[in-house]
Every structure is written in C-alpha cells, then in structure tokens.
Structure 1
Amino acid sequence: MERRSFLKNAGIAGVLAAGSAPAIVHAQQNLRWRLASSFPKSLDTLFGGAEGFAKNVTEATGGKFTVSVHAAGELVPAFGVVDALQQDTIECAHTAPYYFFGKDETFALDCAIPFGMNARQMTAWMYEGNGLKLLREFYAQFNIINFPMGNSGAQMGGWYRKEIKSVADLNGMKIRIGGFAGRVITKLGAVPQNIPAGEIYQALEKGTVDAAEWIGPYDDLKLGLHKVAKNYYYPAWWEGSTQFSLMVNSKAYNALSNEYKAIVRQAASDAHVEVLARYDARNPTALKQLIGEGAKLQRLPKDVMDAAFKASREVYAELNSKNANWKKVYADYSRFQADAYQWQGIAEGSFDQYMAAQKL
C-alpha cells in the first residue's frame, strides 16, 4: 500500500466518522504512545516495520498522535513486552508472539508453529478466516489487542558448526531456536536456547550454542552469523512463516477515538505488507552474498524433517489434552491450513516448482 493511498484512506475514515470536518482527527487532541520493540535497531526489516507504523500514525493525524519507537532493552527487555503491557508501562509493542509461549502456548499460533502456515495462508486466516477473532478472544485474558504487523515468509534452518547428516547428529546439540519449536527439537534430543537477536552472534561465537537460527539471509547477514558458523541449512520446518504482531494495551486502545482506532488498524496493516515485501526483495541478494563469503548452503536431511514432523504432531496432541486455549484456536488453525494446502499444492505449489527449475 502506498503512503499516499494510506493517508487518503485514513483521511476518509476520519471524515466519515466526524460527519463533515476536513481534518483527519479532531475529536482527540495531542497523544503520545510508547512502542517497545523486541528487536534491535540494526534489524531494519523488523525495527523498520515499527518505525513505518509510527510514521504513518503521525502523518495521518497531522502530528497530533505520535508513537515513539524504542529498541529492545531501551524501555523493557526484548522478552518483557507482554508484562510491560499488562502493567500499563507501555501502550504498545512490536514482537514475535511465540516468545511468550511460556505464559501460554497459544501465543505461538499468532506467530509460527512447526510445520505451520505459510505467509499468505496466515494472512488469509487472520483477515478472512477466524484467526483474528479467536486470537482477540485469547489476548483479552492479557488485556491486549493484537494486530498482524509483518511476516518474514519461510525462514532458513540456521547456522551449524558441524554438518547435519542425520537426525542423530542433533542429539545433545545446543540450538538457539525461537518460540516453542524448542518443545519439538527436545524430542529429537537437541537442547533449545531462547536468546534475543542481539545476543545470538556472541553466543555462537563463544560456543554457548552449537547452532543458531534467526530469520533468513538478509537479517542473518546483518548479524554476521556466517562468520562464526559456515553450515547454512534450509528450510526452517519450525517457521514456514513468522507473523509479527502489534500488541496494544486494551485500556490505551479503547480510550482512542474511532478515528484514531481506524488509523492504528490501517497503519499496522500497511506495515504488515511492507515487512514481508522487504524480506522478499532483500533475501535473494543477501543469500548470494553469504554464499560468496563462504556459507555452505545445504538442505536438511529428509529423516530430520520426517522426525520433526512426527514430533510436532505429538506435541500438538499433548497440548490439545491439557490447554483449552490452544485446543480451541488450533482446531480452527489446522482445518484452515489443511484446506489451504489442498488448493495451494495444485496451483501455487506446482507453478513455483516449475518456475524455480527454469533458467530465468
């Protein structure tokens, strides 16, 4: 969505809500929110998504509603944003919801689960399926209102000090891995480590971990992970896509005028599109550079993929039996995903496979 189009739409929303006034917002005067990001400033893909959201809000309100964006650790720790929202310390946050699976595994369904939906399926489920409705009901328990705000697309399987030739090679391996995918790799004998982006390089360099995954070529290159581990694997079976979210304190959101609420929604949607576009545009060139600088690109062995898939089904069955929140949302998620892949396997999948084999 172009900025001009965004501003036009936001302006129309304001005029319609107000009745006739030409100003976008006049029912609520100057307002300032603080947004805590779970990402460092160096990741212009993700931190840039929050900055874009803030810029749109400011422009659409003529500067009356501003959002200050703070990198991980400036206001609260990367993994402390949910607590800060609940405590009214901040008004909003931009994060990967699966960071908070320790509070409730259902958070991961707003982000990424092993062998989950791809980016287009996830967006379709959120906006046209029951995803947003079900997750809003879940987030209400935490006094949070969520908005999709970015997606990475399918991720890479990470950087490893040694080659992975079979699932047995994962036994005892310490792997920095995001979200509750750690529940799955534990069943494969690996030891998951949940480390913020800004600390991954040091952990891999010092040997605190044997392997580490982040997102994909562009961000991995920014973090310099190829300098401390050369074996670069794909795909990240745990993240067929990763959706990031704008989490808003429900009290702060409900205090907004209807005009401001509309602007927040549209600014988040605009950022949602831009973040994925950024990854799709930048990853190809970054991958070429990584290979040129010595990265050894390799596909994860089939027995690793098969064992991980089997383990993921075991984890989901366990959660269905003990977590009512998970069971309710996952039932709808899994039905939507099954139907989506029946269609995409026919059209999108077959077309993509053919085109990837051509010399363009």
Structure 2
Amino acid sequence: MVKEKKPLKGKIPSRRKFFKTAAATGAAATAAVAMPNLALGGGHTTLKMQAAWPSGANIFFEMAGDYAKMVDQMSGGTLKIDLQPVGAVVKTSEIGQAVSSGVLDMGHWVTAYWYGKNPAASLFGTGPSYGMSSQEVMGWMEYGGGRALYEETLAKVGFDYVGFFHMPMPAQPFGWFKKNVTKVSDVKGMKYRTVGLATNVLTAMGMVVRQLPGGEIQPAMKTGLIDAAEFNNPTSDSQFGMQDVSKHYHLGSFHQSQEMFEIPINKKSYNNLSPAHQAILKNAAYAANTDNYFKALVRYSADLSKLMNEHKVNVYQTSDAILSEQLKGWDKVVGDFSGKDPFFKKIIDSQKAYAKRVMKYLLMNQPNYKLAYENEFGPIAKVKI
C-alpha cells in the first residue's frame, strides 16, 4: 500500500532527498501497475467490483450499489467501490475465478452460481430449510460454524478470496406458470427454470429443469423453451417482464426458501488494505443486510400489488401438496449427495444441529402472526393490497 506522506512545512528538499523521493514514487507506480484494479493515491483506494446483475432498473444491482455507498460513507470517501454491471469484465459464471486471480477486486453474486464447481456451494444460500429462513442461515454462517465450512469449500474449489454476505432474501416464489398448479401431477414433465441444488430437488419431483441466466428467462418462456420459471421476487420478476408471459404466480416455495448475496473479495487486495478498511468492508455488509431487507419488504409488496391490480396477475400460495413433495425431494437429494461426499454431509450435519436447537426456540416462541393479521384484515387470501 502507498501511504500518504506528510506535507513539507516550507522546507526545500535537498538534491539527495529529491531523488530518494522520486525513486520511492517510481516503485509505488510499478506496484500500482502490477495490481491494476487497486487504484491508490492521495490516501484513497478504489476497488473494482462486477455484479452478476444488469445496471438500470434492477433491484439487485441497486442493492450492490447500496453496499458500495455504505463503504464510501463509512470510510469518509477513502475507500470506494467501482461497481460494474454483469458482463462488463467477465461472464457471470467467471466472477469467482476473476476475483480469485485479481482480474476483479470484488464480485457481487450468489453462491448458487458456482454450484457447478461443488454442489456444497448451494448449501450457503439455497440449501434445505429445516425450518430456517435466510435470517437463520446467516446466523448459522456467523455463529453456528458455517463460516469455517464456507472457507473450506472455497479452498476445495480453488477460490482465493474472502467472502462476506448480505441481504437475507425472503423465500423465493415457486414462480410463473401457464395455469394454477395445485397437485404434484400438475407440474410433472414441465420444463422449468431454476439454479443450484433446486435443479436436483425439482428433477426429483418429475420436472424437467433447465438452468438459464436471469435475462434469458422471459424470452425462453415466451418462445416455449420452458413452460414455467422462477427468478427471485415480485420486483425482479416484474422488471424481467414475467407478467407479459404468464398470469399465474405462485409464492412461497422450499426449492429456494433462503438465499443471500455473496461478496467475494480478492485476498491480495483485501490484505493490502488497512485494518480499518477491512473492517468497513465487513461491517458495511452487515449494514446493507438490514437496509436491503427493509427495502425489499417495501418494494416487493408494492410490486406484488402492481402485478395483481395493474397487470391482472393471479397470485397463489404454493399448495401444501407441492411443498410436501419438495421436502421429499430435498430428503432424496441430501441423502444422495451426503452418501457420496463426506464433506457435503459435514455441512448438512452442522446445519441440522443448528436448526434443531435454534428453530425449536424460535418456532415455539413466535406467536401466530397470521392470526393477528387476519384478526385485523380478514382472511389473507381475500385481502386487497
């Protein structure tokens, strides 16, 4: 790192000092060329981050920007993030390797996007629930032994980065269908889009699963390449224009009932930062965690209302019959992978132990919030929003 030098107080440097300073400056310039993404100067550092999301009207790119703003504000402008959209430097699937090698300093995506390198990646965001939501999975990450297992998984796939997480996503919808589906037989044989371990779970249910990037989902459904699809939430789904290809939207599903953003940071870039800047990158993720969740609840509910009232989309809760079959699918997938991979089983065992204790307390302690809601507004299915 290049440290700021104190200004000379009215003194004229000697010839020897002048050349000594010039040599030091040249060495610093050489170091900057060797690490092009880490822009240094005047006590300021800029890190290049590429997201897996397009710029413009995209709430995920906006949330990545929220994190970048928090880093800027918390550092007093001395640490900045140059946020780039999907494809600006590398393809989405290449973000992890690009961060590891130093082509990028940082990324913004989800662990399911490197599921192809090791299925265990999906357990840090899109794994089985065991009663946990994203909030509890993030609790397991930080206080239940999950972080050490995550770092072990990174090492197994050859990723050389430090990772932080933010934004505990609400359960993802089962998605968009050409009709209301209530029975398992209604979805068998359907060509369906999802990612991560959810592909295995829904395949076990008899669905024909295809993994497609977010931007390809709506066109694929429009042309009939797929019959049904999920992405993430009412805001993102409406931004993709899913309401133009389907009028049947099923909320709440166990195929991806918990997920969060991963922020990978190149280890060399991270280690070259001051302890204060390292702490800011970590704690800004915690701050964005809360802020993004609050924003999501407001925006997702408002956009669900628009889908229902302006676009005449029929919204349903996914049936218990389908949810139960999803859980059976998870049991099969977890059993198959655990039987083949002791490390996968090690992560699952850790999650189960955490969920068994924490969720017993949480589920027994939580009152029936639906009862309170319906006491005020009436049956939830009939409430107009």
Return the TM-score normalized by structure 1. Answer: 0.87
Cα distance in 2, alignment partners of residues 28 and 153 from structure 1: 42
| Corresponding position: 1:104 with 2:122 | no
**Residue 229 (structure 2) aligns with:** 212
User: 1:165 aligned to 179, 182, 196, which one?
Assistant: 182
Change (3 A) 1:315 1:88: same
* CA deviation profile, 1:157-186 (whole Å, cap 9, x unmatched): 100113323212222211111322000111
The counterpart of 1:156, out of the listed 173, 179, 200, is 173
Aligned residue type for 1:132: R
Deviation by residue 1:303-346 (Cα, 9 ceiling, x = unmatched) = 22222211111111111122233222221112212223222222
- 2:95 is equivalent to residue 81 of structure 1: yes
- Which digits, 9 at most, give the CA deviation of each residue in 1:97-139, with x for residues without a partner? 1121111111112212243520221232123222223212322
Q: Please, which runs of 5 or more residues in structure 2 have no aligned partner? A: 1-39, 378-385
Inter-partner Cα distance in structure 2 for 1:324 and 1:27: 48
**Alignment correspondent of 1:353:** 370
How far, CA to CA, are the matches of 2:61 and 2:293 in structure 1? 13
Q: Distance in 2 between matches of 1:284 and 1:61?
A: 33
Within 1, Cα distance between the matches of 2:291 and 2:123?
Answer: 21
Aligned match of 1:16: none
Amino acid at match of 2:304: L
**Match of 1:15?**
none
**How much has 1:44 moved relative to structure 2?**
4.0
Deviation at 1:63, TM superposition (A): 2.9
- Equivalent runs, 1:180-199 vs 2, <5 Å: 180-199=197-216
Matching residue within 40, 54, 78 for 2:54 = 40
> Which residue of 165, 177, 192 maps to 1:175?
192
Q: Which residue does the alignment assign to 1:280?
A: 297
C-alpha deviation, 1:258, in angstroms: 0.9
The equivalent position to 2:339 in structure 1, one of 307, 321, 325, is 321
Give the secondary-structure state (helix, strand or coil) at the position aligned to 2:261: strand
Which whole-Å CA distance do the structure 1 matches of 2:56 and 2:123 have between them? 27
Alignment of 1:127 with 2:142, yes or no, is yes
Q: 1:42 to 1:229 in 2, by over 3 A?
A: farther
**Contact conserved, 1:153 with 1:241, CA < 8 A, in 2?**
yes
The answer to which of 135-144 and 327-336 deviates more is 135-144
Deviates more, 1:295-304 or 1:152-161: 295-304
Distance 1:355 1:98 in 2: 36
Greater gyration radius: 2
Please name the residue that 2:160 is paired with.
143
* Secondary structure, aligned partner of 1:127: helix
Is 1:263 the counterpart of 2:276 in the alignment?
no
What CA distance in whole angstroms lies between the structure 1 residues aligned with 2:317 and 2:151?
37
Question: Equivalents in 2 of 1:231, 1:114: separation in Å?
Answer: 25
Question: Aligned-pair distance for 1:77?
Answer: 1.5
> Number of aligned pairs?
334
AA partner of residue 124 (structure 1):
G
Matched, 1:303 2:303: no
8 Å CA contact 2:253–2:323 kept in 1: the answer is no
Distance in 2 between residues matched to 1:42 and 1:30, nearest whole Å: 27
Q: Percent identity?
A: 24
| Residue-by-residue CA offset, 1:40-63 (whole Å, 9 max, x unaligned) | 224543212211222222233333
Distance 1:169 1:156, change over 3 A: same
Cα shift readout 1:61-99 (whole Å, capped 9, x = no counterpart): 333322111111111122221121233211111111112
Output the CA distance in 1 between the equivalents of 2:320 and 2:78.
Answer: 55
> Counterpart of 2:49 in 1: which secondary structure?
strand
Paired residue type of 1:118: S
Q: Partner of 2:273: helix, strand, or coil?
A: coil
- The 8 Å contact of residues 94 and 246 in structure 1, kept in 2 or not, is answered as yes
Quote the offset at 1:281 in angstroms: 1.6
Q: Is the 8 A contact 1:42 1:222 kept in 2?
A: no
Q: 1:251-306 CA deviation, whole Å, 9 max, x = no partner?
A: 22122221111111111211122221111122222212111121111233332222
Match for 1:165: what amino acid? T
CA distance in 2, matches of 1:42, 1:202: 19
Map 1:6-45 to 2 at 5 A. Answer: 29-42=43-56, 44-45=58-59
Given that residues 27 and 257 in structure 1 are in contact (C-alpha distance below 8 angstroms), is that contact kept between their aligned partners in structure 2? no
| Distance of 2:354 and 2:305 partners within structure 1 | 35
Matches of 1:207 and 1:48, distance apart in 2: 31
Residues 49, 274 of structure 1: 8 Å contact kept: no
The 2-side partners of 1:59 and 1:347 are apart by 38
Output one character per residue of 1:207-266: Cα deviation in whole Å (capped at 9) or x when no partner: 221111111222222222111011111212112221111111222212222111111111
Among candidates 225, 248, 273, match of residue 265 of structure 2 = 248
C-alpha distance in structure 2 between counterparts of 1:246 and 1:47, whole Å: 13
1:8-56: per-residue Cα shift (whole Å, max 9, x none)?
A: xxxxxxxxxxxxxxxxxx9993322111111122454321221122222
Quick one: distance in 2 between partners of 1:27 and 1:294? 54
Of 60, 66, 71, which aligns to 1:52?
A: 66
Give the secondary-structure state (helix, strand or coil) at the position aligned to 2:375. coil
The reply to whether residue 342 of structure 1 matches residue 360 of structure 2 is yes
**CA separation in 1, counterparts of 2:82 and 2:58?**
16
Q: Distance in 2 between matches of 1:244 and 1:143?
A: 18
- Partner in structure 2 of residue 13 of structure 1: none
Whole-angstrom CA distance in 2 between matches of 1:290 and 1:282: 12
